[in-house]
Amino acid sequence: MSFVESEERIALRKAVSEFGAKYGHDYFIAKSRAGEKTTELWEEAGKLGYLGVAVPEEYGGGGGGIGDLAAVCEELAAAGCPLLLMVVSPAICATVIARFGTDEQKSKWLPGFADGTLKMAFAITEPDAGSNSHKLKTHVRRDGDDWILKGTKTYISGIDEVDAVLVVAIQATGPVLVVVPTNSEGFTHHQIEMDLVAPEKQFTLFFDDVRLPSDAVVGSPDQGLLQVFAGLNPERIMGASMATGSARLAIGKAVSYAQQRQVWDSPIGAHQGLSHPLAKIHIEIELARLMTQKAAALYDSGRDKESGEAANMAKYAAGEAIAAAVDQAIQTHGGNGLSSEYGLASMLGMSRLSRIAPVSREMVLNFVAQNSLKLPRSY
């Protein structure tokens, strides 16, 4: 496994970084505060092929892996435009369908993922289940050739801007993944009011005997558990990439300010009280990026079990890094760190979210203790 990215990956990062700079953090925050979507950014990224880099070539994509998509996600976040739906739509949904879908399902959905004209949400979380996916209650049953879906999901991102939702439901033989168009009869949603500064909104979903066609279930109904876990590793890898990109943005703002701000006879960055914390966080960001690269490489080589361990570690490290980066960036700016002009206080909510979702830091530590260290299960 290489510790240096390929020339193609490096070129992709450079191109995406330059593209993201056309929009930037001010654009992203302005859209978020106005309650608007980053539609122009998403559509242009789709036309340029950035959203479809991991979609197979025969369906209009770039034919790359999750590592390429993660690089796109990270560079957009570093440019100030962390697109949460990138973590969900092309990473989880497109990956699952490309890997497990029937030929008909691939032909139906993948071209839209490839050019960004299709957005799909992912729904696993339920009000009473929390992080315990074994307690899911949303269920699906056969009714002739159709499927009937009933249940509730919560904290699902972007329902107001997607075409369909990939829902994790339970049937008699275990979990299955069901594609539910957002205009389906019996499907309603309610927005959850959040204090996050982001264009993507959060929703509770209600499925009241939603009737779906026979091809709504992705792939084979008896492979649902395998498919769920195949989607969660890319989610963690992408979440880590978005976090490290945003952490790079925050620490870059702090370094720039520390180089220019002068209170006594030298820039404040000359003082170890500021330079050492910034250096420490820079190291932590680079370590998180390296683990994310490892997780992506393992996943793209088909080593799912090893990828699961690395993806969880990457997500943990990235969540800690962005939380520390935003906090220290604000501290470096002093009172200016809380002003709208410097764009740091608006990052607080999302930086904290990275320690909670898509899996909490505590559950990652449980996973590592149990699976990596072989310690007794604590829950």
CATH 3.20.20.100, applies to 224-372: no
pLDDT value, residue 100: 94
Stretches where the chain sits below pLDDT 50 are none
CA distance 244 to 315: 9
Closest CA to 316 of 349, 350, 292, 298: 292
Amino acid 185: pLDDT:
98
Provide the residue ranges of all domains of the chain, joining segments of one domain with +.
Answer: 7-119, 122-221, 224-372
Per DSSP, the three-state class of 122 is strand
pLDDT score for 131? 63
Q: CATH for 7-119?
A: 1.10.540.10
Q: Encode 133-160 in three state secondary structure.
A: HHHCCCEEEEECCEEEEEEEEEEEECHH
The predicted pLDDT at position 134 comes to: 77
Residue 125 · residue 151 · CB < 8 Å:
no
The pLDDT value given to residue 296 = 97
Residue 326's contacts (CB-CB under 8 Å, 6 or more residues apart) are 246, 247, 250, 344, 347, 348, 351
Structural fold of domain 122-221: Butyryl-CoA Dehydrogenase, subunit A; domain 2 (2.40.110)
Nearest to 3 by CA among 305, 314, 296: 296
Say whether the peptide bond before residue 376 is cis (omega within 30 degrees of 0).
no
Tens digit of pLDDT for each residue in 156-176? 999 999 999 999 999 988 899
> CA 117 to CA 335: how far, in whole Å?
42
